[in-house]
């Protein structure tokens, strides 16, 4: 089972800006395609560990980058559950 | 060859600009930004972000979201002016403007935007004292050429910027000739929107430029189309920077622009400014002392000096300088008709010398000798 956090954005420039500030803050982040369970977003999301999700949101907010939502994703034997935080 | 047409474009770029662009193309590492989540598409997106971040620091906004990348300053100015001005608005601008400001404004004048022009004084400097009296209840924006591409005359921004801000008038700056020749901090100068080009004194490639949007404004997008996201929305995103970006951007050119600005930062903008001022000061003072030469514009300015020799057509002089001496200068009207009307040089034009970082005093001496030989 894999559990991780996702942060969705309205634009791709917000996603890449967030990746940049998270890197500066030492929070590992990957850019991945927007999962279909999330109905709004620009097609890319920031994937972070669940432990880092709140900290990442704080860093992004402090950088004045607006995000649309925070999500907890659980992947268990091919079944994905996405819960909005 | 001596290249004195840096106001048109800087011919000599830093080696790092060539190397970075060459490597970027050959690496095949940069895909279409915002059009995928695979490494090449993401690296295209990251490359643009890196350039926006560099520009935001260079122009003092510190926020990459406020930077939109365009293909040149004319595009930037057209996008800004056409997106924020509406029929009934009043705009104050200057007689120093380039056609990249004048023509969009003239077209809008036909559509109901009213215009006033700050005049030039005897030396060719904008009389900013006239600004306050031109302001009316519907004055929406002031559009200012930071440095004349004809005379090099600089405009004193601080007073206008401060006064405009007090009255909610949008201050728009055309920094085509000044970006990269002196420090421009939009917050410090009270500039709301700055339009710049990348291929002149920022030493990037042609096909680069942009908008620094230092203010939150409602605006109508001028061009709409592919943004790479929100595909089912009939409307183009109204957010920075996507509001002013449409279709596939030139990633490799913007990688070159990043390296051009990095070169300026490594060299030191103060040092570059001092060098350009020295070249201009020496040329201006020396060429003015040659009998029969008329120099236009003030003693101090951005690295541009225009002149005429007697009544000889400027094109003829420029042609001789090129053919006989290998000196590249521009002649004619320089896309700034109101400056020529001010000096009465519509027919003769002017011969323009414009300097860059790679020019030196020996080249100026050779130009002075060449000019003296034409008297």
B310-to-B136, B203, B233 alpha-carbon distances in Å: 43, 34, 62
pLDDT of residue B17: 98
Nearest residue of chain A to residue B229 (CA atoms): A42
Tokens 């850019």, residue located: A31
> Residue range B209-225: average pLDDT?
91
B372-to-B184, B245, B260, B296 alpha-carbon distances in Å: 37, 49, 36, 17
pLDDT of residue B199: 98
Q: In the numeric block, which tokens belong to residue A67?
A: 């995000």
Residue B60 in contact with partner chain A when CB distance is under 8 A: no
Buried b / exposed e across B259-279, counting CB within 10 Å, b at 16+? Answer: bbbbbbeeeebeebbebbbeb
Degrees, nearest 5: CA angle B277-B278-B279: 90
User: Omega before B241 cis (within 30°)?
Assistant: yes
Which of B45, B237, B239 has the CB atom closest to A16's CB atom? Answer: B45
Q: How far apart are CA A13 and CA A8, in angstroms?
A: 12
Residue A7's DSSP bridge partners are A46, A70
Instruction: Write out the E strands in B50-204.
Output: 67-70, 90-94, 114-118, 139-145, 170-174, 193-197
Q: In the numeric block, which tokens belong to residue B9?
A: 């474009």
Look at residue B228 and tell me whether its pLDDT is greater than 80.
Answer: no
> How many other C-beta atoms are found inside a 10 Å radius of the C-beta of residue B1?
9
B120 and B108 Cβ atoms separated by less than 8 Å = no
Counting one residue from A and one from B, how many pairs have CB atoms under 8 Å apart? Answer: 55
Tokens 């939502």, residue located: A69
**H helix runs in chain A, sequence order:** 12-24, 53-62
Nearest residue of chain B to residue A64 (CA atoms): B63
> Residue B239 and residue A10: Cβ atoms within 8 Å?
yes
Residue B230 in contact with partner chain A when CB distance is under 8 A: yes
Tokens 């430029």, residue located: B209
Q: How far apart are CA B184 and CA B154, in angstroms?
A: 12
Ramachandran category for residue A26: left, alpha or beta (phi over 0 → left; psi -120 to 50 → alpha)? left
Query: Could you report the per-residue pLDDT of A24-79, keeping only the tens digit for each?
Result: 999 999 999 999 999 878 899 999 999 999 999 999 999 999 999 999 999 999 89
Report the mean per-residue pLDDT for chain B. Answer: 96
Would you place residue B213 in the very low, low, confident or very high pLDDT band (cuts 50, 70, 90)? very high
Q: What is the largest CA-CA distance in chain B?
A: 68
Residue B17 in contact with partner chain A when CB distance is under 8 A: no
Residue from B31, B42, B54, B258 to probe the interface with A (highest A Cβ count within 10 Å): B42
Which of A12, A32, A64 has the CB atom closest to B229's CB atom? Answer: A12
Q: What is the largest CA-CA distance in chain A?
A: 37
- The CA distance from B237 to the nearest CA of chain A, in Å, is 8
Tokens 């350009």, residue located: B276
Q: How far apart are CA B287 and CA B360, in angstroms?
A: 16
Look at residue B229 and tell me whether its pLDDT is greater than 90.
Answer: no
B202 and B179 Cβ atoms separated by less than 8 Å = yes
pLDDT of residue A59: 98
Contacts of A11 in chain B (CB under 8 A): 227, 229, 237, 239, 242
> How many other C-beta atoms are found inside a 10 Å radius of the C-beta of residue B63?
18
pLDDT of residue B235: 87
Query: Could you report the per-residue pLDDT of B285-309, keeping only the tens digit for each?
Result: 999 999 999 999 999 999 999 999 9
Short-list B88, B146, B142, CA closest to B113: B88
Which of A13, A31, A42 has the CB atom closest to B65's CB atom? Answer: A13
Q: How far apart are CA B250 and CA B69, in angstroms?
A: 9
What residues contact B360, with CB distance under 8 A and at least 6 apart? Answer: B279
Would you place residue B243 in the very low, low, confident or very high pLDDT band (cuts 50, 70, 90)? very high
Which of A17, A33, A41 has the CB atom closest to B65's CB atom? Answer: A17
Tokens 């300015």, residue located: B301
Query: Could you report the per-residue pLDDT of B173-189, keeping only the tens digit for each?
Result: 999 999 999 999 999 99
| DSSP H or E stretch at residue B337 | helix B337-343
Q: How far apart are CA A23 and CA A35, in angstroms?
A: 23
Q: Coil, strand or helix: which one is A6?
A: strand
pLDDT of residue B271: 98
Residue B239 in contact with partner chain A when CB distance is under 8 A: yes
Residue B309's DSSP bridge partners are B293
- The CA distance from A51 to the nearest CA of chain B, in Å, is 24
A37 and A82 Cβ atoms separated by less than 8 Å = yes
Predicted ipTM? Answer: 0.93
* % of residues, chain B, pLDDT over 90: 91
């Amino acid at each position: 089972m894999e559990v991780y956090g996702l942060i969705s954005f309205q634009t791709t420039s917000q996603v890449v800006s967030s990746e940049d500030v998270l890197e500066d803050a030492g929070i590992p982040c990957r850019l991945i395609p927007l999962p279909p369970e999330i109905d709004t977003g620009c097609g890319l999301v920031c994937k972070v560990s669940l432990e880092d999700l709140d900290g990442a949101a704080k860093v992004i907010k402090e950088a004045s980058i607006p995000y649309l939502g925070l999500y907890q994703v659980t992947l268990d034997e091919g079944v994905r559950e996405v819960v909005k935080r | 060859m001596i290249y004195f047409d840096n106001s048109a474009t800087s011919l000599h770029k830093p080696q790092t600009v060539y190397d970075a662009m060459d490597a970027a193309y050959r690496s095949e590492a940069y895909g279409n930004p915002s059009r995928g989540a695979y490494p090449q598409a993401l690296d295209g997106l990251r490359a643009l972000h890196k350039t926006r971040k560099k520009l935001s620091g260079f122009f003092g906004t510190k926020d990459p979201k406020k930077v939109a990348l365009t293909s040149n300053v004319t595009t930037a100015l057209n996008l800004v002016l056409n997106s924020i001005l509406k029929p009934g608005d009043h705009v104050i601008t200057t007689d120093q403007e380039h056609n990249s400001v004048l023509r969009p404004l003239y077209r809008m004048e036909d559509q109901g935007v009213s215009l006033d022009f700050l005049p030039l004084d005897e030396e060719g400097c904008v009389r900013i004292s006239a600004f306050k009296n031109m302001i009316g209840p519907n004055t929406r924006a002031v559009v200012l050429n930071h440095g004349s591409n004809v005379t090099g005359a600089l405009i004193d921004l601080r007073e206008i910027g401060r006064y405009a801000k007090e009255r909610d008038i949008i201050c728009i700056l055309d920094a085509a000739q000044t970006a990269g020749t002196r420090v421009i901090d939009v917050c410090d100068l009270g500039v709301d929107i700055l339009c710049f080009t990348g291929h002149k004194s920022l030493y990037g490639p042609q096909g680069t430029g942009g908008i620094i949007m230092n203010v939150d404004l409602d605006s109508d997008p001028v061009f709409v189309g592919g943004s790479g996201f929100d595909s089912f929305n009939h409307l183009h995103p109204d957010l920075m920077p996507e509001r002013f970006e449409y279709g596939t951007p030139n990633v490799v050119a913007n990688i070159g622009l990043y390296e051009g600005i990095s070169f300026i930062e490594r060299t030191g903008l103060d040092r570059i400014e001092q060098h350009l001022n020295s070249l201009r000061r020496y040329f201006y003072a020396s060429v003015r002392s040659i009998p029969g030469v008329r120099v236009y514009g003030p003693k101090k300015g951005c690295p541009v000096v225009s002149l005429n020799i007697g009544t000889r057509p400027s094109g003829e002089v420029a042609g001789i300088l090129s053919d006989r001496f290998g000196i590249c200068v521009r002649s004619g009207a320089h896309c700034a008709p109101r400056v020529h009307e001010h000096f009465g040089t519509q027919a003769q034009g002017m011969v323009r010398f414009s300097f860059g970082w790679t020019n030196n005093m020996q080249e100026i001496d050779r130009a002075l000798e060449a000019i003296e030989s034409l008297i």
